Amino acid sequence: MGAVDFRVLMLRVVRGVVWLLLGWLLVRGVADVLVPHPGVAAETQAPVAVPETPPTGDPEDRQAAGTFAALFAREYLTWAPEAPMDREERLKPYLAPGLDPQAGWVPGNGAAGQYADVTWPYRTESLGDSRWLVTVAARVWATGRTGAEAATGETRAATAAGGTGAGTAAGGSGAEAAAGGGEAGAATAEAWAAASRLIFLAVPVAGGADGFVVYDYPTIVPGPRPPRVEVPPLPGDEVEDAGGRVKALLTGFFRAYAAGGEGDVAYFLVPDLSLRGLEGALEFVEVRELSLRRLGDETWAYALVRFQDPVTGAHLDQRYTLRVVERDGRWYIAEMVQKGD
């Protein structure tokens, strides 16, 4: 073997050793990544704690639980003193087996009864495990004589309809009672105020798609705390209604808006604006307040308008926001912000 062949052989040996070393380093590196070192495993493989969230329950079950609780509350809060067992029979389909058949509320032995004419689920809270706590708001009326003459269901129905029965019971005509005019209306209003109250009832409900039951006593709870809401100031800078021309525009517009339809208000609008009127649902009385504000290149009118209900004679004050424009010396309404379009 010559010197050249020996050098070639040595180069091949060295090259092989280098490749073996590189392969060994590569294997060790991968092993370090895949296999944690002792003492580090607890840090690298510990399960991540997931914060618990309150159960929300199935949306359909939530709605059904609220409806069930509202129906139960209507029966629970209604009884007649002359038929005390009737309420117990009405509650049976709602109560879980073994629960007190009166569900913890036993009507008194006095001459007064009560009934709930309106109940609705105010809040439904999921407790998990197919259980719900439904807070029901209920309007409850006392029936019978409770000091002053309390309005019975028949009296209220006749009064609302303007019937003579309500007026006769209060010592006047049905129309007087409906309008609240005279001594008859005042007596009826006092009886209504004394006889009605708003109750918030927390009802524990269990179940799901196959049905629900009230599994424990309901509880009367405080009503919601009214939020503190500040009325925001009007935007823009106030400008003067020179000559009262914008107020005159709004007076004519709202008179036509209350009495007529789409064609009756077109005279007061820019050509590309279309509005429907109230078609006699209300009668215009006056524009009580008006603030004209400048917002950039636009002029906006913020108006408090008084209407009258043609049926009862009641007054209604309603707020409107309108964008007005002046063209050829005359003011027009270019936009009215309203709900119900």
Q: Is the dihedral angle over the CA atoms 17, 18, 20, 21 positive or is it negative? A: positive
Cβ–Cβ under 8 Å, residues 162 and 154? no
Phi, psi of 111 (to 5 degrees): -85, -10
Of 36-45, 101-110, 137-146, minimum mean pLDDT range: 36-45
Higher pLDDT among residues 180 and 237, named by residue = 237
Return the CATH number of the domain spanning residue range 59-221: 3.10.450.540
CA dihedral 242, 245, 250, 255 (to 10 degrees): 150
Architecture (CATH level 2) of domain 237-337: Roll (3.10)
Tell me the pLDDT tens digit for each residue of 88-119: 999 999 999 999 999 998 877 666 788 999 99
* Strands 148-149 and 283-295, bridge-based pairing: unpaired
Tell me the pLDDT tens digit for each residue of 224-281: 999 998 988 999 999 999 999 999 999 999 999 999 877 889 999 999 999 999 999 9
- Banded pLDDT at 311 (limits 50, 70, 90): very high
- Tokens representing residue 323 in the block: 């964008």
Tell me the pLDDT tens digit for each residue of 274-303: 999 999 999 999 999 999 999 999 999 999
